[in-house]
Amino acid sequence: MKNPFFKNTGPYKLNELLKLINFKDQNFSDFTVNDIKDLNTSEIGDITFFHSKKYSSFAKTTKASFCITTENLEEFLPKNCKAIVSENVLLNTAQITQIFYPDSTIDNFDDTVEDINKTEFKNKVKFGKNILIGKNVKIGSNCSIGHNTIIEKNVIIGDKCSIGSNVIIRNSLIENNVHILDRCVIGKKGFGFFPNKNSNLRYPQIGVVIIRDNVEIGCGATIDRGSLSNTIIGKNTFLDNQIHIAHNVKIGENCVIAGQVGFAGSSIIGNNVFIGGQAGISGHIKIGNNVQIGGGSGVIKDIPENTKVMGYPAKNIKQFLKENK
């Protein structure tokens, strides 16, 4: 999928990229690099990154031509992918992403927006007062938008959707029959930094938010767009009020998540998962299908499917109840 929200300034010569980030080893042939993507979505001519053995299964099948990685992980890459061995994979990835997408760390307001009464949606959408719509927005049939809401450029909204009041939506693709309640902010940049002595370096965020059919999002929810991949909410999933979903999170189908749950970046949630209020989900972990997580739990490691857990750290619910009689 071509990114409709961020402009790719490439292609670049590989040596040129490495020179721009002051990379030590610049002795590569005159290869051309078209784009930077994650391991899953990379294509021939792209550069990707691989920083943890946890993602070795994705590394083995990547179609990328080049990969920023470590000496220890190089062996997992296919023959078609040339390793660029780095001492700081994530930092170098962020630097190259910033070159391809220089506006990816900035969330300026959309200066293309105009009053909905001046747009094609004046007679197509039911709407309240003070609605602003950006350039190239698409909205399906039988939709409604509440007061003081902003839908920024290139956002796509499907049929039979309702958007509440005081909502901001950017960098998002929303399917059919989605209901977003008041005061949600969807598609803003995620919270990713590299500590630096002089100033923190923000990690670029070039992904989007994808919300599948029949999803409901409660009041005050915040859903960050992805960094190199996308943040995805699966079909028939219901989110309660004041939930935070960080960049790259993937939530499966038919999930029910209670209020004030927080998901750290790149966590993957299976189908039919139930999570109680105020639970916290650490980053880069996987929760299997049919898992139930008790309210207030802290999940700091993977949870296999068909499991019930509770507590901090989250443990099997029978063990938790036995220890807390």
Active site residues: 247
d(C-alpha 235, C-alpha 93), whole Å: 32
Helix (H, G, I), strand (E, B) or coil at 60: helix
How far apart, in Å, are the Cα atoms of 228 and each of 223, 266, 303, 325?
15, 11, 25, 45
Helix (H, G, I), strand (E, B) or coil at 118: helix
8-state DSSP, 98: H
d(C-alpha 265, C-alpha 246), whole Å: 5
Residue 214 backbone class (left: φ over 0; alpha: ψ -120 to 50; beta: rest): left
Q: Say what the alpha-carbon torsion angle 223, 106, 113, 177 is, to the nearest 10 degrees.
A: -20
- Preceding amide of 78 cis, omega within 30: no
Asked if 158 and 176 count as a contact pair (C-beta separation under 8 A), the reply is yes
Asked if 300 and 318 count as a contact pair (C-beta separation under 8 A), the reply is no
The DSSP element (H or E) to which 97 belongs, if any, is helix 89-100
d(C-alpha 181, C-alpha 217), whole Å: 6
According to DSSP, the β-strands at 12-13 and 32-33 are: antiparallel
- Preceding amide of 11 cis, omega within 30: yes
8-state DSSP, 18: H
State the Cα angle at 79 between 78 and 82, rounded to 5°: 90
> What radius of gyration do the chain's Cα atoms show?
21
Q: How far is CA 222 from the centre of its chain?
A: 12
